[in-house]
Structure 1
Amino acid sequence: MEVSCSSLDHQQVQNVDDNGKPKRTGPKMATFCAIAQYASLYGLTVGYTITAAISLRAALKAFCFHMKGHDAPCQYASNPYMIAMGILEVFLSQIPSFHELTWLSGLAAVMSIGYSAIGTALSFAKIVSEQSDEEGQLGGVSATTLFYLMCDCFGYAAFGNEAPGNMLTGFGFYEPFWLVALGNIFIVVHLVGAYQVFSQPIVGAVETLARRKFPESKLVMAEYPLKFGNKEFNINFLRIVWRTVFVAVATLLSMAFPFFNAILSLLRAIGFWPCTVFLPIQMHVVQKKIRRESIKWIGLQLLNLLCLLVAVAAAVSSIEGFSSALQTYKPFKTIG
């Protein structure tokens, strides 16, 4: 789990300088951690917009292939679906409190388990089918992780090195078409909710900062009641403008850079080691007063080095994927 940026303000990570005096580097590390985390979160909103459009296209293609045959030229543009996703997220983003989105995040979690189960079942069915032709025959996060792991393992067992990045959108399966389409709809619903979960920390941080800087501004502070049927909502000028701009920019980026998932992978690779490994280890060493060059200290540093190498490898892989995508890159023109 990534270390909380705010915790670094209170828990100063100390190093010792040449004179034996402690150096406090917490604020600088907190700033870097915050930038890395917020960049990753914003990148996720762009990536989710792209993936949602791909899944919507895949659902339509499942019906198209079923009706016209697997060789039919079932091609759909992504931009209309990205725009639709953006419009929906603009409305959802106006919900003022993150806690009011509990139902949405819960629904997203259920959808995640749903499409993972479908992918796992389809992969397992393909394995059984192939064997028949040839041979004649934890809850919460842990549960979700198990589903993802099973989906990956069965997917690789079914397709080997030819396994698509997403089995439900890469058309490793054509039938039953309705189940493939349903799995993709589950993905879309999951991403709609996940978009808000990951965007709320960013929009909330900016709005909190604005309220602190401009406590007397009506544009920032004033809430205006608005009735819609039997329900009453509060609208705020800052919230309307800022969150709409936030979603609009993310939507434009997704349309301009349909390979943004490669960029997102690079951002996450850059932020992984310092925020998830290096900083927590440094804080642990300081808190527990672990002596330098002790066995425990050496073990932690080896873990640190190993994770750094993994992060570098992930970054190199992301750059390679980014470079490959650029060769066929056409902004605002994604059809598949």
Structure 2
Amino acid sequence: MARGDYDDNEEEEEHHPPLLQTSPHNHNLNLTGTVWTAVAHIITAVIGSGVLSLAWSIAQVGWIVGPLSLLLFGFFTLVSAYFICDIHLYFDPKNGNTTMNQSYLQAVHTVLGYKNGLACACVFYFSIFKTGVVYTITSATSMRAIMQSNCYHEQGHDAPCEFEDWYYMLMFGIVQILASQIPNIFHTKWLSIIAAIMSFTYSFIGIGLGLAQVIDKGKIEGSIYGISTTGPTQKVWLVAQAIGDIAFAFNFSVILLEVQSTLKSPPSQKVTMKKASTIAILTSTIFYLCCGASGYAAFGDLTPGNLLTGFGFYEPYWLVDFGNACIVLHLVGGYQVYTQTLFAIVERWYAEKFPESVFATDIRSVVSLIPEFRLNPLRLCFRTAYVVLTMAVGMLFPYFNEVLAFAGSIIFWPLTIYFPVEMYFVQKKVVPWSGKWIILRIYTIFCLLVTIFTLVGSIEGLITKRFG
């Protein structure tokens, strides 16, 4: 089959194994996406729990380096988006055929080969797993924050209002075990809509509370050097963690090709997607600056790690409670939106590997007194085990900022920098040691060094918190 022929899927499956795909083929769908639907998809994916750590991140590096770091990572992400948009249609000079890459993993496999595709898949699946862990930790701290907020309101701000995180992680895990039995991502549209609304709601609450605090104090807290109460060594590690948190907030390159595959033409999907990426990344960066700056301006050296759960804000307690409830609702839906992709890939791989296995066959209920339902043993066992694993890791390392920094440092460089640049070299036939090649190599190495710095800092933070 020619790569440009999409009517027969048999050889397409051979070229793109299930574990290197992230979305079903949609060649025959009536595409209706526009630049504004693409912007909506990107912003919805971007604005998540990472936004809550940005005030703390700016507090570690100060008023100059903090905003500049946000702008720099926004620029890196925009460059990556442009490279990825170009690879949607790839012409292979070896056989003269064209491939439509509908997912990030498929693009890496098609352009850079199976080994690179496999390496990318490992990082990609780790990215999904770490998102589950981060969402488990964040939801638990938000549920605990609601209890603490009510306690402080009733007993005073100096009351010993302490609650255990593991209890709330267990509650979140039970909800996710039930929600994970939803058959596939096509049944989670309502969860995605709720998650998007909630993410904007709690972000605006954080910005509003920060601005209100600044107005009430009548001054802007903070300095150009960041928090002044840390020693030199501790300062280095905290700066590393702060940059890792910023990297986590900007990591969404892996969804761009899937969004691009929904766009109608003319104009070409590439042109539309580049315009949408520019608008979405610019909007997200401005939004991040507002969130981070308002929080640091309100609290200065006392800026909490998580803006809505660190209790810089005590009143109005009902608004703090509402903001944290929005976080929990967002993360319940967001967890499923991310993990349903992984569930589908693994279950599809198992079904193709063991086509005769009854373990992957639906079992219908036979009890006449209850509504008919279908139970899939593979779905029940694998998805339950997956949720329990994310919950266990969250309980072992329940440290919001350090876990965000670790996750951001692990996935940012390979998914946002390395693979897009390497695919650009192949797509554009960039000559080694040419001016463009040298500039992009320096760019890649610089980002790698920054990533190593943040990784070491996040690991130090995790070890210190866990064993220190």
In the alignment, which residue of structure 2 is the partner of 1:111?
A: 198
Distance 1:228 1:179, change over 3 A: farther
Matched, 1:11 2:151: no
Q: Does 1:301 align with 2:388?
A: no
RMSD (CA atoms): 2.6
| Residues 267-325 of structure 1 deviation map (CA, whole Å, 9 limit, x = unaligned) | 44133212221111111111111122222222211221221122112112212211221
Contact 2:306-2:400 at 8 Å conserved across structures: no
1:92 equivalent to 2:188? Answer no
Determine if the alignment matches structure 1 residue 183 to structure 2 residue 323.
Answer: yes
Structure 1 residue aligned with 2:313: 173
Gap regions ≥5 residues in structure 1: 13-25, 329-336
Structure 1 residues 133, 251: CA separation in 2 closer, same or farther (over 3 Å shift)? closer
**Residue 71, structure 1, aligned to residue 158, structure 2:** yes
Secondary structure of 2:218 counterpart: helix
In terms of mean alpha carbon deviation, does 89-98 or 218-227 score higher?
Answer: 218-227
SS at match of 2:307: coil
Give the whole-Å Cα distance in 1 for the aligned partners of 2:368 and 2:355.
29
Relative to structure 1, the CA distance from residue 181 to residue 142 in structure 2 (aligned partners, 3 Å threshold; closer, same or farther) is farther
| Stretch of structure 1 that moved more, 107-116 or 246-255 | 246-255
Matched, 1:222 2:362: yes
Q: Summarize deviations over 1:110-155 as a string: whole Å, max 9, x none.
A: 1111011001000000111111799xxx997765554333111111
| Alpha-carbon distance between aligned partners in 2 of 1:145 and 1:247, rounded to the nearest angstrom | 32
Look up the match of 1:278: 418
The answer to whether the Cα contact below 8 Å between 1:55 and 1:188 also exists between their aligned partners in 2 is yes
2:148 to 44, 61, 66: 61
User: What SS does the aligned partner of 1:11 have?
Assistant: helix
User: 1:228 offset after TM fit, Å?
Assistant: 11
CA gap 1:56/1:300 in 2 versus in 1, 3 angstroms: same
Q: 2:120 aligns with which of 33, 37, 41?
A: 33
The residue aligned with 1:50 is 137
Change beyond 3 A, Cα 1:295–1:141: closer
Distance 2:116 2:434 in 1: 25
> Where does residue 459 of structure 2 map in the other structure?
319
Amino acid at match of 1:56: M
Contact 2:134 2:394 in 1 (8 A): yes
Tell me which residue corresponds to 1:332.
none
Residue 261 (structure 1) shift: 5.9
Q: CA deviation at 1:66?
A: 0.8
Pair 226,52 (structure 1): closer, same or farther in 2 beyond 3 Å: farther
CA distance in 1, matches of 2:436, 2:302: 43
8 A contact 1:226–1:235 mirrored in 2: no
Match of 1:20 in 2: none
Partner SS, residue 152 of structure 1? helix
**Partner residue of 2:380?**
240
Deviations for 1:84-128, whole angstroms, at most 9, x for unmatched residues?
111110111001110111110111111111011001000000111
**1:316 and 1:244, CA in 2 relative to 1: closer, same or farther beyond 3 A?**
same
User: 1:312/1:228 Cα in 2 relative to 1: closer, same or farther (>3 Å)?
Assistant: farther
**Contact 1:173–1:180 under 8 Å retained in 2:** yes
Q: Write the deviation string for residues 187-242 of structure 1: whole angstroms up to 9, x where unpaired.
A: 11111111111211222221011101111122213353689999754321111111
Q: Distance in 1 between matches of 2:415 and 2:458?
A: 19
Structure-to-structure mapping, 1:184-199, within 5 angstroms: 184-199=324-339
Say if 1:148 and 1:240 are closer, same or farther in 2 by CA, change over 3 A.
same
Q: Distance in 2 between matches of 1:40 and 1:132?
A: 40
Of the structure 1 ranges 190-199 and 111-120, higher mean CA displacement relative to structure 2 is found in: 190-199
Identity between Structure 1 and Structure 2 (%): 41
State the Cα deviation string for residues 159-198 of structure 1 (Å, max 9, x = none). 1232111111000110111101111111111111111112
Q: Which residue in 1 is equivalent to 2:450?
A: 310
SS, match of residue 292 in structure 1: coil
- TM-fit CA distance, 1:263: 4.5
For 2:172 and 2:179, locate their aligned partners in 1 and report how far apart those are by CA, in whole Å. 11
Note closer, same or farther for the CA distance 1:226–1:152 as it changes in structure 2 (3 Å cut): farther
Question: 1:229 and 1:68 mapped to 2: Cα distance?
Answer: 49
Query: Aligned AA for 2:331?
Result: L
Most deviating of 249-258 and 191-200: 249-258
- The one-letter code matched in structure 1 to 2:446 is L
Q: Counterpart amino acid of 2:170?
A: I
Residue-pair matches, total: 312
For normalisation by structure 2, the TM-score amounts to 0.62
SS in 2 for 1:95: coil
Q: Is the 8 A contact 2:360 2:377 kept in 1?
A: yes
Corresponding letter in the other structure for 1:8: V
- What amino acid is aligned across from residue 9 of structure 1 in structure 2? H
Cα displacement string for residues 13-40 of structure 1 (whole angstroms, at most 9, x for unaligned residues): xxxxxxxxxxxxx222211111111112
Q: Pick 1 or 2: higher relative contact order, CA cutoff 8 A, min separation 6.
A: 2
Cα 1:302–1:184 change in 2 (3 A) is: same
| Alpha carbons 1:40, 1:264 under 8 Å: kept | no
Partner residue, 2:271: none
